[in-house]
Amino acid sequence: MIKIYPLREVQYQVNNTKEFNYIENLDLVDEANGYVLTVRPFLVHVGDELILIDAGFGLHQDGKSQLVERIEEVGFYATAVSRVLISHLHKDHIGGIGRMVENKLETYFPNAKIYIHEDEMMYTMALEGHQSYDYNIIKGLQYHPQVNYLREDSGQITKNIRFEKVGGHVPHQMVFWISDEDDTVFYGADNLPQLSYLKYDCSFKNDVNGKDAQDSRRIWQEQMKKENWTVLFYHGKTTAVKKF
């Protein structure tokens, strides 16, 4: 049996320089200053594994990681997380992984293996200074002993976890399937960040290759209906999880 725990952060307003500003009151948001973004990592419990999928932007409130608090609210400790799956390295997907202490990254998940695609790290480092990334965190991850680099285009991480490098939103983005004998959970990352993306057969301008993302959604939509996937939506405004 697979159990899913959405770990919603607060909502942010993101401006054209990719600054994330915490929204306290949606009624006071001026849309001329940027779009509203929901950020929602997921905790998935399957067998004896506790898996974190992406790590949020990394908001701290009263000196404590909001992501760690969300994990505790659903009954676990961050030390129990066994694997962290990183789809890509944009700052709203890795900021909650830990904090910098004396120029070193101290992760909040000390007992976890962290999975990043090696091509994604190389691509991101070649863009150093790009506003979509937090290079303090990225450099902290680059040679971190907890990081396990994936090098194939697809494969199994464990018997329950499968990955595929699909590109689209960024050239080396990964998506993940977590399965047991009864269920298949699918995470399409930012190629499928919201349920509404399935309603419109189009490409989106915030993707590096919108056509690849669009083609992936077409394939997934057919499969998820045929195979009754449970789909996770990282940026879903109202829908976090949907069973097809």
Domain with residue 103: its CATH number is: 3.60.15.10
| 187/23: higher pLDDT | 187
Q: Is residue 223 part of a domain?
A: no
pLDDT at 18 > cutoff 80:
no
Q: How confident is the model at residue 29 (pLDDT cuts 50, 70, 90)?
A: low
Q: Is residue 224 part of a domain?
A: no
Give me the number of domains the chain comprises. 1
**pLDDT over 90, % of the chain:** 80
The Cα 236–Cα 41 span in angstroms is: 11
Sheet with 241-243: strands ordered across: 154-156, 161-165, 174-179, 184-187, 230-232, 241-243
Tell me the average pLDDT across 139-164: 99
Q: Rounded mean pLDDT of the chain? A: 93
Of the listed ranges 6-10, 67-71, 157-161, 237-241, the least confidently predicted one is 6-10
Residue pair 137/108 in contact by the 8 Å Cβ criterion? no
Question: Given the structure tokens 């998940």, which residue do they identify?
Answer: 109
Q: Is residue 205 part of a domain?
A: no
Question: Given the structure tokens 């202490």, which residue do they identify?
Answer: 101
**What is the pLDDT at residue 69?**
97
User: In the chain, where does DSSP find H-type helix?
Assistant: 66-73, 91-94, 118-126, 135-142, 210-227
**What is the pLDDT at residue 131?**
93
Q: How confident is the model at residue 207 (pLDDT cuts 50, 70, 90)?
A: confident
Q: How confident is the model at residue 24 (pLDDT cuts 50, 70, 90)?
A: low
Per-residue pLDDT tens digits for 71-96: 999 999 999 999 999 999 999 999 99
Residue pair 61/92 in contact by the 8 Å Cβ criterion? no
Distance, first Cα to last Cα, the chain: 17
The Cα 85–Cα 95 span in angstroms is: 13
- Which tokens sit at 220? 């997934």
**What is the pLDDT at residue 25?**
52
Tell me the average pLDDT across 169-178: 98
**What is the pLDDT at residue 22?**
61
Domain span including residue 158? 2-190
Q: Is residue 82 part of a domain?
A: yes
Q: Is residue 234 part of a domain?
A: no
DSSP helix/strand/coil, 70: helix
The size of the chain, in residues, is: 244
The Cα 91–Cα 240 span in angstroms is: 20
pLDDT at 13 > cutoff 80:
no
Q: Is residue 50 part of a domain?
A: yes
Q: For strand 113-117 and strand 147-150, is the pairing parallel, antiparallel, or unpaired?
A: parallel
Q: Is residue 57 part of a domain?
A: yes
- Which tokens sit at 204? 């989106």
Q: How confident is the model at residue 62 (pLDDT cuts 50, 70, 90)?
A: confident
Q: Is residue 207 part of a domain?
A: no
